[in-house]
Amino acid sequence: MSNEKFLSAQIKRRTLLQSMAAVGAAAGASTLGLNRAFAQEPEKPAEIIVRAWGGSWVDALKAGVSDSFTKATGIAVRHDLTEDNEIQPKVWAAVAQKRVPPIHINWDTTTNATKSALRGVTEDLSDLPNLKNTTELSKPVGLDGYPIVNTYGYVYVLAFRPEAFPNGAPKSWKDLLDPKLKGRIALYNDGIGFHFPAQVAGGGKLEDIPGNMQPAWDFITKIKAQQPLLGEDPDFTTWFQRGEIDAACTISTNAREAKKNGISIDWVVPEEGAKFDTDGLWIPKGLPENELYWAKQYINHALTKEAQQVWLDGLGLPGVVPGLTPPADLVGDPSYPTTDEDFKHLIRISTKVQVENESQWFAKFKEIMQG
């Protein structure tokens, strides 16, 4: 019997596929940190619902975390694109009424997630095995345990059209006050990302936040005279694309995505600094035990180096697992901080201070902008 015949006799197609599936599942399970015996695992739900932001955000999550989770566990992942602000009251109501919440996992800003944690609607995630491999950035500041796991950081950069700045990139947030930019700049409609640099640009100190933010309000009042457009993430890309604006304070991911789409755009961290913040994942209370288990496994998987690398390559953001490789276009970019020196130019304010004062800051910003 020749070797060839032996092989064809022993390794049939179905056997090969079964073996590959078993190896794949074992590898996936190992990646997930699922080292328990399968017999001990709770029943798998047909799907897990993860609330996510749309566009390139959900594409990156799917490519980096969801697809590999499904491959490893066989559990489908459905992405619910309800806005983070709109899912919040639904989850809060479900928990208050002791109903099963509408999602398994919320991909949320840390500030928003902290509100949910303070309200007591989040599950504790301290027992996730992969947490031990993460940096300090994954730990929510000012909260007991891990009601949220931060998964990456991001910077609110000053994005601009190079054609509108023929003398070189803007260096300061004060450059937005140039009369030629009147009606050509954009901010988030609640001012998020802009309050803290405005405090510095207005001549104030970060240590005075939240006690004295008058310098920020004075600077924002000057910006108001420039008639800025106010919008959400997708608006910035649209406005740049349609030539409505020349500069904006936005998350670097949006600027990078616009650039990928062929829009002439660049970004800087101005001399006053730029706000650095984090997003995270959390699980609402009220899930059945088995679904809670698998939701935790999803977040645990999101903390693996492999998942973080693909997910955050898509977003162009620094993760919480050491040793990630920055995307080629972001090496040395100030919006992708990796060293202590990088972080010196960024503004970080405690989540607790932000959560407690955010409503007042939003109201004050609106008062100025709507006046």
Partner 1 sequence: MRPSRAAYPMRWRVMDSLERIAGLLWPRSFSAGLPYLMLLPALLLVGVLVWGLVEIGDSSLRTLDTSTFLMSENYTLANYQRALNERFFTTVAGRSLMGSLIVTVITLVFAFPYSYLMVRTPSSALRKFLLVALFLPFFIGQVVRAYGWLIILGNQGMVNEALGLVGVSPIRLLYNYPAVLFGLVQYMLPFAVLMLAPAMTAIPAELESAASSLGANWISTFRHIVLPLSKPGLVGAGLVVFTLSLTDFAIPAILGGGSQDFIANAIYDQFFRTSDQGMGATLSLLLVAVGSILVGLVFMVFGAGTLAMGGDRK
Name the residues that contact partner 1, by CB under 8 A. Answer: 83, 85-86, 88-89, 115-116, 118-120, 183, 189-190, 227-231, 242-244, 355-359, 362-363, 366-367, 369-371
Q: Which is nearer to partner 1, 168 or 371 (CB)?
A: 371
Beta carbon of residue 136, minimum distance to partner 1 (angstroms, whole number): 24
Beta carbon of residue 135, minimum distance to partner 1 (angstroms, whole number): 28
Beta carbon of residue 212, minimum distance to partner 1 (angstroms, whole number): 19
Q: Which is nearer to partner 1, 293 or 362 (CB)?
A: 362
Residue identified by tokens 């459905």 is: 78
Q: Which is nearer to partner 1, 48 or 185 (CB)?
A: 185
Q: Which is nearer to partner 1, 24 or 243 (CB)?
A: 243
Of the candidates 288, 303, 319, the one whose C-alpha atom is nearest the C-alpha of residue 126 is 303
Decide if 298 contacts 77 (C-beta within 8 A). yes
Q: Which is nearer to partner 1, 229 or 292 (CB)?
A: 229
Q: Which is nearer to partner 1, 161 or 296 (CB)?
A: 161
Beta carbon of residue 80, minimum distance to partner 1 (angstroms, whole number): 16
Beta carbon of residue 116, minimum distance to partner 1 (angstroms, whole number): 8
Beta carbon of residue 234, minimum distance to partner 1 (angstroms, whole number): 12
